[in-house]
Structure 1
Amino acid sequence: MKKELYWLIVLLAIVLVVMSPALQNEFVNWDDEIYITKNEVIKKTPFSNLGEIFTYKINGFSVPLTLLSFQVEHYFFGLNPFPYHLNNLLLHLVNVFLIYLFVKHLTMSNLFLKIITPTNDSKKTKPNNPPPAIISHKTINYTAFFVALLFGIHPMNVESVAWATERKDLLYTFFALLAIYHYQQATAQQTLRLADKKYWLSLLFFLLSLLAKPQAIFLPILLLLIDYLKDRKIQFLLLWEKIPYFIISLLGGLYLLINVGTKVSAKTQDYDFWEKILFSCYQIGLYLTKFFFPFRLSNFYEYPIKVEGWYPIIFYIIPLILLGLAILLYWKFRNNKVVIFGVLFYFFNIFIFLQIFSVNTAIAYERFNYLAYNGLFFIVVVHLQKVKFTDYLWIGTLAYLAILGFLSFERCKVWQNNVVFFADMAKKNPNDIDANKIALKNTGDALMEKKQFIEAIEKFNQALGKDIKYEQAYLGRAFAYFQLGRYQEAINDYSHALALELTPQNRIETIFNRGTCLMNLKMYEQAINDFSSLIAVNPANVPAYLNRAYCLLNLARYEEAERDYRTVLQIEPSNAMANSQIQTLRQAKQKASQ
């Protein structure tokens, strides 16, 4: 027990060191603004708006537990990024520990050595030399340790840890692993009693996992795979015990279908079914390649561009390679339960994110593999234990693990801030217009935060060079012009943006900002028109009343100005500006009457 504790400490210490650069990261404008920095829902007192938390949708679906965790952090720490990243890292460490327990329990079965021994040719099995009935603690601990280590330090998992928003992955995996752990405990003796509290705790954690991220809908199938690996007999009770899991999963699946399934990315609407099959095969091929060789990672993997009606040849080769690999796996490992378990564990964890469903703006995302890769880690580690390790092989293995750790350590730094993050994104997607324009625009935003307005304008110019109808670049450049006092140029950009498709909130802000620029140029009549249009939409828009009143004062339309100030006081009786201006107008009237 002491030795196991020692190895656990070593395991967690390695993962902590490898992922530690994430603690220095800031928020980035890659959904962090939607989930955290500009999300008013999480800025309220924790648990005071549970109804809003549970119904608030981002990109079509709800992640209430994730938002609730952000809300608690915001209450105590505001928008200091360190606690958010610290909690992400701590969750990752807990998940590493849970993976260790998960794999350890899988390998504790008396059937395990028989399972990992090929049985496709029973004639070769010597009747007088049956496989051992038990597995050594050394084998169990080694398997659990190295699977958990690979999970903890693999570069493809950095995105889920170093990106604050991806608390979703960490939380859903945390609760999913707790659900699996309690299920394993409840079925430790092969027969599950429905009255066992571990069974009901497993169901509860499954529900919580779905509330953290809907990706957990395939957990019932993972439980069936665990039954298969443990050689549980298929009987009525085994299927009956899964019914509550599948009911919860079905409800989660229907929710996804209604809220996300029909929200196809505009980028992929024109792709036909066979193109989506090609993209899905490429996606799987990319993930498998990065599993072994996680180099040149990116937060955004661009879609291919057709040249003379054809995609790059790799898109036609990979389906053939995957087909050949599937045939080989079936021929060589069709009776190897570890391989079957690991492959299916991986497949069902990424299934809903394949490009067949076309819900993404990129062809692949690294974070989708966070839990899924453990199926492949399990296959590799189990079968490596059947290899006789020489000194050179040990050195090679340790060197490979060191490389993974170094790559993850450096990868964490990519999420350091907006400038570094989006520069990396643009560099690694040179042919993707969307990726480049988004990267350039967000780099401009980051420069704006540093008050480097001239440099920011140049980035917005480059973004508009990629897409002349990119409204966010117009808005960013307009605000930079505004900060520099170049109001006419700002007005031009705000007008360009208003001619494009803006969200209702962006449209309101754009009209207000244009009106403010007009006001600063003393173009009062035009400014009044903008502020009046806002008041027509929202009669309680206090800033619009105040600015319109200011314009009216400068046009000597005092009665109209006073009327606007009085309207402000009806909405906000303690408004200092309105009170002050009314007093000034009153004094002016008295002087005029004398």
Structure 2
Amino acid sequence: MAWVAASKVLLYSLFYLLAIRSYCLYLDTSKSTHFYLVILWFTLSFGAKEQAVSLPICLLLFDYIYKRNFRDHMIWYEKTPLLVLTILFGIVTLQSQGEMILENTHFYPIYQRVILSFYTLSDYFTKAIIPINVSYLYPFPFQVGEPVPLWIYLYPLSTVLIIICLYKIILKKWLAFGLLFFLIHITLVLNLLSLARYSVIADRYAYLSTIGLYFILAYSFTLLCQTKYKQIVVTISFVYFLGFMVSSFNHVSTWQDVGTLKSRIKKVMESRKDYQNWKNKQNSK
């Protein structure tokens, strides 16, 4: 069973990647035709989904990879038409669904959203690397109006500590590229905006961003295969991908039909410690 309603994510990703490809060709050849194609693919990508708004920032990341001089005014002139389109697209988006995006009622206050963003970031990161406990719906870890559980504070704390401890490694160009690619494309869905959703994350929103993480895995595999530990690395990689296949095979049954999907969601909701409180609130409305 394919989720046809989410085809806009696939379309946006397709045109977005075509825009990146055209931009790389432009940087390689300096032919203006490729740059005009970037604008065309960007327009089509945004027409499919507003998440394409991140493209100008993403292209700056490729400028960095290509070792372009950011003091060169041409870099910024090139981004002007894209930024103008971004502003126009943003205005259209706000006019069409601005009330949903900017509505603060029935959602978490800003300080809780900041803390939730670290929780969301961690979930997207870990589920991309180790896709366990995947689900159609991922409920928020606490209800609106409730205090933030103490264990949630571990997410921003651990993120800061990891960056401090590993910053020298993170600064390696290939690693920084992969992580920045992931962050650029996942930032818009980290719950910093009060979107009217019932799920703290949505797997489909990470389709494009996880390319950055998989780039890191692929590059690491290549580097490690050049060492004396090649056989061990290949074996671990085989087991890793075998685990992916087994997990996918087992999860297919969840999507057998609407009944099995709703049954799985029901189990997820009822397993929460605050389920009864939430149910009582719904019944009292």
Where on the TM-score scale, by shorter chain, does this alignment land: which range? Answer: 0.7 to 0.9
Please say if 1:422 is aligned against 2:258: no
Corresponding letter in the other structure for 2:3: W
Q: Distance in 2 between matches of 1:378 and 1:372?
A: 11
Match of 2:233?
A: 393
Structure 2 residue matching 1:188: 3-state secondary structure: helix
The alpha-carbon distance between structure 1 residues 264 and 243, as it changes in their structure 2 partners (threshold 3 A), is closer
Match of 1:379?
A: 216
Instruction: Select which of 359, 363, 371 maps to 2:200.
Output: 363
Structure 1 unaligned blocks of 5 or more: 1-24, 26-161, 437-463, 471-594
Match of 1:274?
A: 111
Once the two structures are TM-superposed, the CA of residue 209 in structure 1 deviates from its matched residue by 0.5
The alpha-carbon distance between structure 1 residues 348 and 260, as it changes in their structure 2 partners (threshold 3 A), is farther
The alpha-carbon distance between structure 1 residues 293 and 206, as it changes in their structure 2 partners (threshold 3 A), is same
Pair member with larger Rg: 1
TM-score by length of 2: 0.86
Match of 1:331?
A: 168
Q: Deviations over 1:384-406 (max 9, x none)?
A: 32222332331111110121123
Structure 2 residue matching 1:290: 3-state secondary structure: helix
TM-score by length of 1: 0.43
Match of 1:439?
A: none
Q: Deviations over 1:519-569 (max 9, x none)?
A: xxxxxxxxxxxxxxxxxxxxxxxxxxxxxxxxxxxxxxxxxxxxxxxxxxx
Q: Deviations over 1:94-151 (max 9, x none)?
A: xxxxxxxxxxxxxxxxxxxxxxxxxxxxxxxxxxxxxxxxxxxxxxxxxxxxxxxxxx
Q: Deviations over 1:547-593 (max 9, x none)?
A: xxxxxxxxxxxxxxxxxxxxxxxxxxxxxxxxxxxxxxxxxxxxxxx
Of all paired residues, the percent bearing the same amino acid is 28
The alpha-carbon distance between structure 1 residues 391 and 413, as it changes in their structure 2 partners (threshold 3 A), is same
Q: Distance in 2 between matches of 1:270 and 1:370?
A: 26
The alpha-carbon distance between structure 1 residues 163 and 337, as it changes in their structure 2 partners (threshold 3 A), is same
Match of 1:210?
A: 46
Once the two structures are TM-superposed, the CA of residue 361 in structure 1 deviates from its matched residue by 2.0
Structure 2 unaligned blocks of 5 or more: none
The alpha-carbon distance between structure 1 residues 179 and 314, as it changes in their structure 2 partners (threshold 3 A), is same
Range with greater deviation from structure 2 (237-246 or 202-211): 237-246
Instruction: Select which of 44, 57, 80 maps to 1:221.
Output: 57
Match of 1:200?
A: 36
Higher relative contact order, structure no. (Cα contacts within 8 Å, ≥ 6 residues apart) = 2
Match of 1:341?
A: 177
Once the two structures are TM-superposed, the CA of residue 354 in structure 1 deviates from its matched residue by 1.3
Once the two structures are TM-superposed, the CA of residue 260 in structure 1 deviates from its matched residue by 3.5
Residues 119 and 156 in structure 2, CA contact (< 8 A), matched pair in contact too: yes
Q: Distance in 2 between matches of 1:413 and 1:251?
A: 43
Q: Deviations over 1:44-73 (max 9, x none)?
A: xxxxxxxxxxxxxxxxxxxxxxxxxxxxxx
Match of 1:38?
A: none
The alpha-carbon distance between structure 1 residues 423 and 376, as it changes in their structure 2 partners (threshold 3 A), is same
Match of 1:459?
A: none
Describe how 1:74-473 pairs up with structure 2 within 5 A: 162-189=2-29, 192-193=30-31, 196-234=32-70, 235-263=72-100, 269-305=106-142, 310-334=147-171, 336-359=172-195, 360-387=197-224, 388=227, 389-430=229-270, 467-468=282-283
The alpha-carbon distance between structure 1 residues 413 and 219, as it changes in their structure 2 partners (threshold 3 A), is farther
Residues 221 and 233 in structure 2, CA contact (< 8 A), matched pair in contact too: no
After superposition, the CA RMSD in angstroms is 2.8
Q: Deviations over 1:272-294 (max 9, x none)?
A: 22211111111011112212221
Count matched residues.
276
Residues 103 and 194 in structure 2, CA contact (< 8 A), matched pair in contact too: no
Residues 277 and 356 in structure 1, CA contact (< 8 A), matched pair in contact too: yes
Q: Distance in 1 between matches of 2:164 and 2:33?
A: 43
The alpha-carbon distance between structure 1 residues 348 and 214, as it changes in their structure 2 partners (threshold 3 A), is same
Q: Distance in 2 between matches of 1:299 and 1:265?
A: 25
Q: Distance in 1 between matches of 2:88 and 2:110?
A: 27
The alpha-carbon distance between structure 1 residues 347 and 257, as it changes in their structure 2 partners (threshold 3 A), is farther
Residues 22 and 35 in structure 2, CA contact (< 8 A), matched pair in contact too: yes
Structure 1 residue matching 2:270: 3-state secondary structure: coil
The alpha-carbon distance between structure 1 residues 354 and 257, as it changes in their structure 2 partners (threshold 3 A), is farther
